[in-house]
A = this chain, B = another copy of it.
Amino acid sequence: MKVDDLLEHISEWLRGTGPNSDIVISSRIRLARNLQDYSFPHWATKKQSEEVLENIIKAKDSLEYLKNSTVFRMAELDGVDKQFLVERHLMSHEHAQKKNSHAVIIDEDEIVSVMVNEEDHLRIQVMQSGFNLPEAWNIINKLDDALSAKFDFAFLPEWGYLTACPTNTGTGMRGSVMLHLPALVMTRQINRVLAAIAKLSFTTRGLYGEGTQATGNFFQISNQVSLGRSEAEILGNITGLIKQIIEQENQAREVLLSHSRTVLEDRVNRSFGILKNAYIISSQETVELLSMLRLGSDLGMIKNVDRSSINHLFISTQPAHLQKLEKKKFSAQERDVKRAEIIRNKLQL
């Protein structure tokens, strides 16, 4: 598989299916694991890092969930390729900055990806569309068992899995759910909700992970605590919290529909009108307008655009995707023009 082959494929996180997929974009679990005979990546020698990578590559084909995966070494990817994989949520922005023995292994369905030699030797990620942490856990747990049978992971009975950063020690697990909360934003309840999330020791991030701002009403909520609780407890806590937020977003949508239907129709349809007619549009504005279009589609206000078309636009209008699709490098200005053209063509009904 080449990076370009992914263009033909819909990312798992954007399939727009699965439980509560009107509000929950995707569910994700990642595990941090380290091989006990090697230094953590930041301190490892070049040789050690290369050995870690070689060991994983050798092992992967015998593992059920990585049989049909491909290894992408950072040193072999150009800037657009790297950004492309970040846009697809297959690796972190930080990892993309690296070279040498840094790599990402991606299965052909884009459900499983493994960053090798990021902050930890292995950062295993499983993605599911919609609100589906149990299935993500089911997959990642089996993969973890299979890996454990092949590798000695750094583990202490009283601490759990050891990681480069102590905040990940213990389960080494992070569960994240990407939510679309336009009604909580429009009814100005979002700050109260985010404050409550922070108090419960969860973190909120934007569409593109750590350090990114929430745009387009998308919020990624993850556990902060990894130590001192079992995986089941952590996932149970997230699940409980997300269910409450879904409930609140649904209530806010009801309130908007019953008290401010025309205001909502106006926002949704203006967004649609701008998307269908603009000749210059930034990726940030695109995400914000598509958020409104998605809400309109979820509420039955927009009838002739389905969620999968909207999701397709979310990803295909991102800077690297856009350049891959057009097979050309563009300046930021040129991208804004090309992006508008792609959106106009896609939405001409």
Contact = CB atoms under 8 A, between A and B. Distances in A.
Contacts of A265: 279
A266 B273 CA distance: 12
A278 interface: yes
Interface in A237-270: 262-263, 265-266, 269-270
Interface residues of A, number: 17
A263 B278 contact: no
A272 interface: yes
A269 B263 contact: no
Interface string A19-47: 00000000000000000000000000000
B277 A269 contact: yes
Given A265-B279, A269-B279, A272-B277, 14 more contacts: A262-B279, A262-B337, A263-B279, A266-B279, A266-B280, A270-B277, A270-B278, A270-B279, A273-B273, A273-B275, A273-B276, A273-B277, A273-B278, A274-B274
A262 B280 CA distance: 7
A103 interface: no
Contacts of A53: none
A340 interface: yes
A274 B270 contact: yes
A279 to B, nearest CB: 4
Interface in A292-327: none
